[in-house]
Structure 1
Amino acid sequence: MSEKFQGYLYLSLAMILVGSTVIASKIIAAGLAPFTATAMRFAIAFPLFLLLKWITETPWPKLGRRDWLILIAQAGAGSVGYTTLLIAGLSLTSATDAGVVIGTLPIVSAAIAILLLGERPDRRMLAAIALAAAGVLTIVFKPGEGDAHSPLGTALIFGAVICEGLFILINKRVGAEISPLALSTLMAGLGLAVALVPALFEAPSAARIDKGAIVAVLYYALIPTVAGFVLWYAGSARVSGTEASVFTALAPVSAVLFAFLLLGEPVGTHQLLGIGCVLAAVLGLTVPQIRASRRTARAFQAGKA
């Protein structure tokens, strides 16, 4: 298995977990305030990252002032900004609507990769981004949506998308070499520090904290945060920022499917068509890598013979 294909696999799994955060955030929104829930998320995840780092004997990186500033900005935008805005938005709109808005993540991430990182995608990459965008637009412009939607909720979730796009790609501006586990640990620790102060001044969102919200925070901390961080950074280290942006299209796919399976929200023809376009975009990148890996393996075996 090639390094790049491994990266594609890790990115796919990470984005499926990101999609599940929509369901967790919908449950959290009913019983906890956004910054309080975010601080709890990282308070649970940070010690686990430290434990994993100690078990694996992963060293701390040597960081300069510029790298620290970038990491703090990344934690503030992605770790805290994404979570708080998503929870706040989901207190106003449905999980399906959130999944649709999160579908703009590939476009936002690609724009960040091209504008901020100066990357120049090839034709195959542009085709994959276009196909993923087509899937997103198919979902966004589905007809027959006469029910009221919250413009503020939509705006908050789109803000979360921008934060996630920055979180995904801005780490490539860090000059020092940082292992995925060390970087994940730093993101959790810095995220806790950034979220803790506003959480202390935040009014409770409910008179009685819902047990389901606590369980959802535990899930969010253990699975999408711990497992998702490690998977994403391990994957993004093996591919370009533009390639990574395509795999963010899997987040809305998993969000819509989870909303249907776990919350019972309806999924129509347009959502299914959009999901098909997104999967085709991802396969358009991964299948050539699988074939290349097989050709390399056959050539290696032939050389040994």
Structure 2
Amino acid sequence: MNSRYVGYVFCALAMIGVGSTVVVSKSIATGLPPFSATALRFAIAFPLFVLVMRWRGVRWPRLDRHDTWLVIAQAGAGSVGYTVLLISGMKLASAADAGVIAGTLPAVSAVVAMLALGERPAPALIGAIVLATLGVLVCTVRIDDFTAPHAGSSLAGNALVFAAIVCEALFILLNRKLRTPVAPLPLSALMCGVGFAVAIVPACFESPWRVPFNAGALAGVLYYALVPTVAGFVLWYAGAARISGAEAGLMTALVPVSAVALAAVVLREPVSAAQLAGVACVLGAVLLATFGQMRTAHSTA
């Protein structure tokens, strides 16, 4: 098979796995406190990443004080903050709504870069931000939300999921500020190790040993650690090595699609016309941002 097509398949599978985290977080939220689930996820994934590093002969990076604090901040935001907020939000939000919100990550990352770094976005990127915002508003702010019995809970859950996406965008921004570039494999291992260290203290205050045993929640954490975290890393970077960065970025369009589809199939959630419209807007945003990036790259070349 053509190496490029293999890259597409690997990246697509990785992004489908990312979309599935929205659905699996729903089952985790019903049986485990968020910090406890997060600490357990990293406790499972970290030794696996260490084994992969030893197998590949990859060494730990040497970081100065500046980069060490940045890595800790990255782990706090992108690893712990994202997971805790997503699980907390899934107690209140529908998986379909959360899937649409998760798909706005490229647009949210662009906004964070604009605000923090003063970057001037291209017209295509501005259009992508507008489309992504419209997609979130269409699927999460509906007229009946203000009259439904659980309207406040739903909007609060969506807000928590969006906060999780902002944390992931901060992770991307902080990674660009590292003085010493860190390869993806040791960076993923560091995020899991530091993430566990950050999450374990608040997890102890949740007293997870007093929580009734929930096999579904534990299976969800195991899946989260093995499939989207470890296998997702391997698939994404194996695929990204075979295709261009813009083509890999285009694969992120599968996140909202897979999340909404899995919400309907696995959780039996009804998918409304507003949610489908939201998916369409977010897909349009990803396409616009990606093709805008391709055009900029060609112009620079």
The interval holding the TM-score normalised by the smaller chain is 0.7 to 0.9
**Gaps spanning 5+ residues in structure 2: where?**
296-301
Task: Indicate whether 1:267 and 2:274 are aligned.
Answer: no
Q: Is the 8 A contact 1:7 1:239 kept in 2?
A: no
Q: Is the 8 A contact 1:102 1:157 kept in 2?
A: yes
Paired amino acid for 1:121:
P
* Alignment counterpart, residue 171 of structure 1, candidates 159, 171, 175: 175
Q: Is the 8 A contact 1:106 1:249 kept in 2?
A: no
**Distance in 2 (alpha carbons) for counterparts of 1:154 and 1:251:** 16
**Distance in 2 (alpha carbons) for counterparts of 1:286 and 1:171:** 20
**Secondary structure of the structure 1 residue equivalent to 2:182:** coil
**Distance in 2 (alpha carbons) for counterparts of 1:290 and 1:12:** 19
Large movers: runs of 4+ above 6 Å: 5-11, 287-291
Task: Indicate whether 1:254 and 2:258 are aligned.
Answer: yes
Task: Note the C-alpha offset of 1:204.
Answer: 3.3
Aligned to 2:16: 16
Task: Note the C-alpha offset of 1:39.
Answer: 0.8
**Distance in 2 (alpha carbons) for counterparts of 1:172 and 1:7:** 24
Task: Note the C-alpha offset of 1:274.
Answer: 2.4
Structure 1 length-normalised TM: 0.79
Aligned to 2:63: 63
Structure 2 length-normalised TM: 0.80
Aligned to 1:75: 75
**Distance in 1 (alpha carbons) for counterparts of 2:69 and 2:7:** 27
Task: Note the C-alpha offset of 1:100.
Answer: 4.5
**Percent pairwise identity:** 55
Q: Is the 8 A contact 2:97 2:139 kept in 1?
A: no
Task: Note the C-alpha offset of 1:217.
Answer: 0.5
**Distance in 2 (alpha carbons) for counterparts of 1:57 and 1:91:** 41
Task: Indicate whether 1:197 and 2:197 are aligned.
Answer: no
Structure 2 counterparts to residues 41-120 of structure 1, below 5 A: 41-120=41-120
Q: Is the 8 A contact 1:95 1:255 kept in 2?
A: yes
Task: Indicate whether 1:182 and 2:186 are aligned.
Answer: yes
Q: Is 143-152 or 261-270 further displaced after alignment? A: 143-152
**Gaps spanning 5+ residues in structure 1: where?**
292-305
Structure 2 counterparts to residues 125-144 of structure 1, below 5 A: 125-144=125-144
**Distance in 2 (alpha carbons) for counterparts of 1:230 and 1:54:** 15
Aligned to 1:302: none
Alpha carbons of 1:277 and 1:11: their partners in 2 closer, same or farther (altered >3 Å)?
farther
1:4-42 CA-to-partner distances (Å, cap 9, x unmatched) read x99998776544333211111110111111111111100
Paired amino acid for 1:23:
V
Q: Is the 8 A contact 2:35 2:84 kept in 1?
A: yes
Q: Is the 8 A contact 2:103 2:282 kept in 1?
A: no
Paired amino acid for 1:112:
V
Task: Indicate whether 1:160 and 2:164 are aligned.
Answer: yes
Alpha carbons of 1:181 and 1:20: their partners in 2 closer, same or farther (altered >3 Å)?
same
Alpha carbons of 1:157 and 1:280: their partners in 2 closer, same or farther (altered >3 Å)?
closer
Task: Note the C-alpha offset of 1:123.
Answer: 2.6
Alpha carbons of 1:7 and 1:134: their partners in 2 closer, same or farther (altered >3 Å)?
farther
Task: Note the C-alpha offset of 1:255.
Answer: 2.1
